[in-house]
Amino acid sequence: MDMNQYLDIFVEESREHLQQLNASILELEKNNHDKAVLNEIFRVAHTLKGMAGTMGYTKMQTLTHDMEDVLEELRNDRIFADSNMVDVLFKCLDALETYVNNVTATGQEGEETFQEIIDSLANILKKTGKSEKNQEKAAEAKNAIDPGAHQGNSKLRVELDQYDINVLKKALDSKMNTFEIHVALDKGCLLKAARAFIIFQIFENNSDVIKSVPKVEDIEDEKFDFEFTVIVITKQPKEFFQKEINSVSEVADVVVNEITYEHLGEAPSASNTEGAAAEHNGADQSAHNHNAKDNQNGKKLQKSGKTVRVDIERLDVLMNLVSELIIVKNSLEDSSHSKESKINDSIEYLERITTSISDAVMKVRMVPVETVFNRFPRMIRDIARELDKGIELHMSGVETELDRTVIDEIGDPLIHILRNSADHGIESKEERIRAGKPDTGNIYLRAYQDGNNVVIEVEDDGHGIDIEKTRAKIIEKGLESADIVKTFSDKEIIEFLFKASFSTAEKVTDISGRGVGLDVVKTKIEALGGTVEVETAMGKGSRFIIRIPLTLAIIQALLVKIGDEKYAIPLSSIQEIDNVKPADIRLVRNQEVILLRNIVIPVVRLDKIMGVPGVLQDSEKKVLTAVIVKKGDKYSAFVVDSLIGQQEIVIKSLGKVLAGVKYIAGATILGDGNVALIVDVNSLAL
């Protein structure tokens, strides 16, 4: 049974279900009597069970099955969801996530059985008086198989799962003998594996081995004490095995237990579960015994492809535009043949269509931020419990959309900022009450569109950033001398927070305090072409504002000429363009500056920085063209030779070899086929 083709689908759908489960369990915690939520959780667990069963992931199946049992009790009001129960459910969720992660990486669910969680679930059930191992009638109409180690009669040493039970039942139905044979070797036996091998020969030659505890592989590796138990189907009578095995030297004891229908918990029947079970057991029946082999064959899943869920309507729009494109192309062909040149009209139309297509494709790549935000409530809840603070997360604007690549990158920075708010921002309950605030702190996570950007805000009503403490820390760390630091404005002090290895936390907690967070946040966001700002008020709280441009690949740019080379400056960074007389350039502290409407702006000589050959000296020019760029609220004047014009350009990566080149953010292909480099304003602006 080659399941690999279904792995991608399984992983993707599982993740969706787990997300749903996450949201539902959180809901449950808030209203633990909400039947709708309970049913939702039950439904999801059930679906996951089915999926796991189809793929042959028995451990996942067991876990979800046990979850179902507990949820069933909840549904029927036999137990109530208190905070401990919710914790257990969350642990189950984590365990399931681990399984899915294992599947994503290796194609197998992994070895962990999460026994403690299963025990916790069992304990919950015990409290309701429901028998722990309830043998559910396997005659379900659904595709799921119930594995959960169910056993009616505990006379057997070995636990049987449904596969085993079915196989044994079939055997009994066909009038074969089914035995559980327990073999104990002499304590002084030296070559245990060799003895076991001889005994297994006896089994193999006279019966079919259905199950072995410990596993065959372990026995071969001598990973057992002195005993092992085997379940076999055979035509031979009980005595045969007793005699044969006892005749092997160094065997201390042999116990042959006949397995009857009672052991299997059901009356002899040709139940139609066989059909359902057989459908999925298929070739797995005998493979069950050779679990070891399966694990070895576990093919390594290639990195499972990233996918995007796309609204069909958007694809329709795209299709239409593409067909329009073809029509225009045809009309252009016609035009070029006919004397009457309607080319200009066609070209204009072409331009409109290509712009629309690029917009449509952009939209296809857009994903609502919800996908990133939805794991935050759980995270905040966990942190709140861990720190014993009252914290509530309010999210808004979750339907705001961002490009898929941005979504992937924005998660980590946001997590860090949120953790900061929870750890440093929100005060402890006592502190808050003393400050006259409600004992539960609030963190607001907002996303909205603003012009060409998407803005994400993280605001808390904690005690804000302690500017003076930060000032002291800067001096203490020797990052700047005390005199200079005293002159820094609040804003400048805050900027220090974003520098590497800076942290004002007294101790390093698991959550924050290592001082490597905010600078990484800033770097990541800037790598996305965005900016991050902080507003804060002592005693009132702080607000982190992240701005990210909507479109990443296509931008408006100003094409300029420096020497013989063409460069592109992103329009979004440009404040204005000025003509500057060479004489107006002054020198302040060895830095060239100009005065623009009473603001001192540093001059950046792009020709020198880019090493462009053959650029004229100032003395040879009457006037210089300066492009005033804005970075945050600082300005710089980039000196270029001449302007070419404004153009929409497609950003092309420079590739891995040149990825780290300074001052260059990428490249673009011009209409004439030549390459123009895109200036990295952030690295050049002073």
**Catalytic residue positions, numbered:** 46, 68, 420
List the structure tokens of 449. Answer: 């569109």
| Window 603-622: contact mask with another protein (x via CB under 8 A) | ------xxxx----------
Query: Per CB under 8 A, which of residues 48..77 are in contact with another protein?
Result: none
| 482/675 with CB nearer another protein | 675
Binding mask 571-610 for another protein (x = CB under 8 A): --------------------------------------xx
The minimum distance between CB 651 and another protein, in angstroms, equals: 10
C-alpha to C-alpha distance for 97 and 95, rounded to whole angstroms = 5
Q: Which is nearer to another protein, 327 or 661 (CB)?
A: 661
Of the candidates 183, 170, 173, 168, which has an alpha carbon nearest to the alpha carbon of residue 289?
168
Contact 369, 414 (CB under 8 A): no
Q: Which is nearer to another protein, 188 or 660 (CB)?
A: 660
Q: How far apart are the first and last CA of the chain?
A: 63
DSSP one-letter string for 69-134: HHHHHHHTTSS---HHHHHHHHHHHHHHHHHHHHHHHHSS--S---HHHHHHHHHHHHHTT--SS-
Residue 351 CA neighbour count, 13 Å, CB half: 7
CA atoms within 13 A on the CB side of 553: 14
Q: Compute the distance between CA of residue 8 and CA of residue 636 in angstroms, rounded to an integer.
A: 50
CA-based nearest residue to 15, from 53, 54, 44: 44
Q: Minimum distance between the CB of residue 665 and another protein, rounded to whole angstroms?
A: 12
Instruction: Pick the closer one to another protein by CB: 595 or 661.
Output: 661
With respect to another protein, which residue has the nearer C-beta, 507 or 662? 662
User: From the CB of 505, what's the least distance to another protein, in Å?
Assistant: 33
Alpha-carbon distance 162 to 168, whole Å?
10
Q: Shortest distance, CB of residue 563 to another protein, whole angstroms?
A: 10
* DSSP classification of residue 425: I
Q: Shortest distance, CB of residue 102 to another protein, whole angstroms? A: 27
- Which of the 8 DSSP states describes residue 205? H
User: Whole-number minimum distance, CB 345 to another protein, in Å?
Assistant: 27
Whichever of 261 and 663 has its CB closer to another protein, that residue is 663
d(CA 471, CA 493): 6
Smallest gap from residue 603 Cβ to another protein (A): 18
Residues 151-180 close enough to bind another protein by CB under 8 A = none
**Nearer of residues 188 and 611 to another protein, judged by Cβ:** 611
Please report which helix (H) or strand (E) contains residue 682, including its range.
Answer: helix 681-684
Closer of 449 and 674 to another protein (Cβ): 674
Measured from the CB of residue 628, what is the shortest distance to another protein in angstroms? 22
Residues 6+ apart with CB under 8 A from 2: none
Q: CB-wise, 117 or 610, nearer to another protein?
A: 610
Q: How far is the CB of 567 from another protein (least distance, A)?
A: 10
Token output for 254: 């042999």
Beta bridge partners of 95: none
Tallying the residues shown for the chain, one arrives at: 686
Residue 169: what residue type?
K
In the β-sheet with 251-258, what is the strand arrangement from edge to edge?
Answer: 207-213, 227-234, 177-185, 251-258
Taking each helix axis from N to C end, the angle separating 517-527 and 404-420, rounded to the nearest 10 degrees, works out to 160
CA distance readout (Å), 559 to 556, 578, 644, 675, 678: 10, 15, 5, 12, 9
Is 357 near another protein (CB under 8 A)? no
From 547, 565, 585, 615, residue interacting with another protein (rule: CB under 8 A): 565
Give 185's strand partners: 251
Contact present, 110 and 63 (Cβ < 8 Å): no
* Residue selected from 677, 681, 684, 685 as contacting another protein according to rule CB under 8 A: 677
For the CB of residue 11, give the shortest distance to another protein in the complex, in Å: 24
Count of residues that bind another protein according to CB under 8 A: 25
β-bridge pairing 675-679 and 366-368: unpaired
Region 637-676 residues binding another protein, contact defined as CB under 8 A: 652-664, 667, 669, 673-676
Q: How far is the CB of 501 from another protein (least distance, A)?
A: 23
- Burial status of residue 674 (CB atoms within 10 A of its CB: 0-12, 13-18, 19 or more): exposed
**By C-beta, is 36 or 675 nearer to another protein?**
675
Full DSSP string of 307-357 = -----HHHHHHHHHHHHHHHHHHHHHHHHHHSSS--HHHHHHHHHHHHHHH
Tell me whether residue 60 or residue 606 sits nearer to another protein (CB atom).
Answer: 606
Cα-Cα-Cα-Cα torsion 48, 49, 53, 57, nearest 10 degrees, comes to 80
Query: Closest approach of Cβ 671 to another protein, in Å?
Result: 11
Picking from 35, 170, 13, the residue whose alpha carbon sits closest to that of residue 103 is 13
Closer to another protein at the Cβ: 436 or 671? 671
Which residues are at the interface with another protein (CB under 8 A)? 565, 609-612, 652-664, 667, 669, 673-677
